[in-house]
Structure 1
């Protein structure tokens, strides 16, 4: 706990009775930007009528984010209402588990995400890109929604990596069920009062049916894998490795735990990467000179062949494009925690039990770290520029002991996919303004269309 002098957090101006409830409902990301601009790096935001009013302490500085996620991570836990809703919908996997449950799961899963293992997934990503771009050409597509297509690509890639050959059925169930479950989690996570999930309301019954379909598909694939004898530590897919994961200290995953890890990997493994790839293509379409430089690097390095893991270091500009896209459109624009004990952040008092957020969406635009922050400029991520900024000026994967275990996998998948797509196509923007809103991950509130410009391979 810090010992600096405490001051009370400034409060964002809202309506007399409901505070900032409607501002958060209509434009939460814009509300957080306004809070920092008007009141500084730690702001209290109130929402809701008396008797059901929520108080959230928003932390916007890089130093504050580091304290919440890393320096005092034990004091800021995933105990808020939003994580509880994700936990109830997707299980107690790595994304939502805590304490010894989390440590045990992380120890069992960590060997699946070594650099050697992750590099072995590059071919699966390149194969799915080829399938996607072949479809564009076969169908005579002249324009695509790049976020929609990136979501389809990332889902098929993570399903292939997770399940091996059991891809099509899993993809169909996820595409059908995830949006509805995500909307249900979002509504309940941000509502001050919810009816119990067991009550037979129409919304609860629809969500229960979607949950059951997801669980049944995971259980089917796991059962078939067990009966086939394909699950072993030498298997090429993550499910085989998960089923074989075991240690004297931690035992092995139960059937329920396997299902929960699979669901979390499907959720976190495709939506976040899809956001990065889709918005990178959108930004390249808006900035032809940056796109030209990316094309030149891809053509020079790959010379027409498919990209692989060994090419990542040779594609620094494509990597910078992705990092800049992740700055402007972080897949997790807001990260929530709950304070266990009273502390201070930036000299501002945070009471015990307070809901606290850190916001990559805001910190990634903070004028203390980013000049002309809304401008797209991949050269912000040269090694020299990165070294000159605070560690948590850019944190799209979270940070501290709960940082995303799949960071290397996500970057590998995104760089391989973007390079392979740029080999065959250029892009011109159709939708120049794309409104966004936070859900479980960042979502576009409308289409993100680009015209396709075929290139000679």
Structure 2
């Protein structure tokens, strides 16, 4: 890398604001790609964050110099209001939560849940059969969220949450995830005044607490119910801290829910638009699933054989990374790409931008699963693909995604032929995760199976 001190590419206020208001996620990416991965400074009134997208700079911020780029500052406050600072914080609190939760998200442990996961997903789809035969429409995002939520809640939360409570938890979390958009785009707005989204956010956060706190209390009184995470967390907190701080356990559970459910459901939501726009991908994907699964149920052993599905999911994560922005705050004066950055500055790592840099991706705006074909064996920068972040704060849910997501899609496509009935240009909603603003309405045509 060239270490010559240089100036950042500056986007002035009068240009930045209209573009961010238009459609923040893709416009932010264009700012990064137009600068060809150089460090970009956004002048947004009193707020001047630095946009980071070059893989070398991503590596520096998230990995090699991670201790100088911490999860602090105005961008994190909206997230902390719902999830707390356990997994999303720094220091002892984060280390404590990470140590307790990491064993629940290893590749080996998540793989061991595969068959149970497959059974739960198949049970969820049985409920859709009558609906599909009648030709009714389903909301693609709601369908993904319902299936993923039921899987996560039954596997990780055991019998502590009823289906009704699970649906209210999902609804509350979705509202929190989307209603913080204004706070993320205008992070310097004081919390002493109400801004768009605040009222809905506070009501949803209250709903989450009304579900989670009684659950913790009940689990503490009744003891473990099999291999579930609520009792395991309580036990681990007592062993580590001498007592189970209810607030910490609550924050851990909400963080687990977001990690295991929100990321997968929102990633898969984008897939239905992709399959409509790319019928050749849709056809090949269905053909592979038919060859591997046939007329039988989808099992965890099938996941390794669904190689094209894996390629499609990799490309989906490249084009629509749920972690569309990763905020950090500098601890000490530093340099990124030769640009001097003062202590206390806000730095925004943008996977959505990194995944679109033409220096590292051929035809970056095209959805092409073939770029992930093993035989192509393309050598690319290790930090050119960071859908789950990187470094010490890499998302715990990444291994779960690669088991759960293939099972969800293989189950659906082996049973139905989903048809998108309202294709349109989708607007990105910036929030905790990235989701489409518009609904994706699907008609599920039953697959005719021979008997």
On whether the aligned pair clears a TM of 0.5, the verdict is yes
Instruction: Write the distance in 2 (CA, Å) between the matches of 1:319 and 1:78.
Output: 31
Tell me, in whole angstroms, the C-alpha distance in 1 between the residues paired with 2:167 and 2:271: 26
Superposition RMSD on alpha carbons, in Å? Answer: 2.6
Structure 2 residue 448 is the aligned partner of structure 1 residue 449: no
Contact 2:10 2:43 in 1 (8 A): no
Q: How many residues align?
A: 445
Note closer, same or farther for the CA distance 1:292–1:54 as it changes in structure 2 (3 Å cut).
Answer: same
Q: Could you tell me how far apart the structure 2 residues matched to 1:277 and 1:385 are?
A: 25
Report the equivalent of 1:289.
280
Alignment partner for residue 60 of structure 2, among 67, 71, 77?
67
Aligned equivalents of 2:93, 2:365: Cα separation in 1: 40
Change (3 A) 1:411 1:351: same
- 1:434 aligned to 2:440? no
Determine helix, strand or coil for the equivalent of 1:45: strand
Q: Report the Cα distance in structure 2 between the residues aligned to 1:71 and 1:335, rounded to whole angstroms.
A: 16
The residue number in structure 2 matching 1:226 is 220
Equivalent-residue separation in structure 2 for 1:48 and 1:348 (angstroms): 19
Alpha-carbon spacing, 1:277–1:124, altered in 2? closer, same or farther (3 Å): farther
SS in 2 for 1:55: coil
- Kindly state the Cα deviation for residue 8 of structure 1 after the two structures are TM-superposed: 1.4
Distance 1:189-1:376 versus aligned 2 partners, 3 A rule = closer
Is 1:56 equivalent to 2:55 in the alignment? no
Give the conservation status (yes or no) of the 8 Å contact 1:285–1:450: no
Q: Given the alignment, which residue of 170, 173, 179 partners 2:168?
A: 173
**Residues 346 and 279 of structure 1, relative CA distance in 2, 3 Å threshold:** same
Alpha-carbon deviations, 1:321-371, whole Å to 9, x = none?
A: 111111111111111111112222222222222111111111111111222
The reply to whether residue 23 of structure 1 matches residue 22 of structure 2 is no
Shift of 1:4: 2.6
Whether the 8 Å contact between 2:12 and 2:43 is mirrored in structure 1 is no
TM-score, normalization: structure 1?
0.89
Q: Deviations over 1:266-316 (max 9, x none)?
A: 223222101222222331232222222222222222233333333322111
Q: Distance in 1 between matches of 2:186 and 2:196?
A: 17
Correspondent of 1:316 among 307, 312, 317: 307
**Cα distance, 1:344–1:363 mapped onto 2, change above 3 Å:** same
CA–CA separation in structure 1 for the residues paired with 2:439 and 2:294: 33
What whole-Å deviation, never above 9, does each CA across 1:178-234 have from its counterpart, x for those lacking one? 24333443333433544446x899976654443232112111112222222225xxx
Contact 1:163-1:238 at 8 Å conserved across structures: yes
Q: Go from structure 1 to structure 2 and tell me whether the alpha carbon gap of 1:36 and 1:191 turns closer, same or farther (over 3 Å shift).
A: closer
Asked if 1:150 corresponds to 2:144, the answer is yes
Q: Shift of the alpha carbon at 1:31?
A: 2.5
Aligned to 2:34: 38
1:257 counterpart (248, 256, 266):
248
Question: 1:127/1:91 Cα in 2 relative to 1: closer, same or farther (>3 Å)?
Answer: same
2: CA distance, partners of 1:287 / 1:200: 43
- Aligned partners of 1:203, 1:137: CA distance in 2, in Å? 37
Contact kept? 2:420, 2:443, Cα under 8 Å: yes
Distance 1:156 1:327, change over 3 A: same
Q: Which residue of 1 aligns with 2:99?
A: 107
Distance 2:228 2:135 in 1: 32
- CA gap of 1:59–1:204, structure 2 versus 1, over 3 A, is closer
Distance in structure 1 (CA, Å) of the matches to 2:244 and 2:55? 37
Distance 2:357 2:372 in 1: 16
Instruction: Please report the TM-score for the alignment, with normalisation by the length of structure 2.
Output: 0.90
Contact 2:286 2:414 in 1 (8 A): yes
Please give the residue correspondences for 1:17-416 in structure 2 after superposition, counting only pairs within 5 Å. 20-49=16-45, 53-94=46-87, 96-139=88-131, 140-165=134-159, 166-196=161-191, 207-230=201-224, 235-245=226-236, 253-385=244-376, 387-416=378-407
Please tell me whether the aligned partners of residues 39 and 50 of structure 2 are also in contact (alpha carbons under 8 angstroms): yes
Residues in 1 aligned to 2:25 and 2:167: alpha-carbon distance in whole angstroms: 32
Determine if contact 2:179/2:200 at 8 Å carries over to the other structure: no
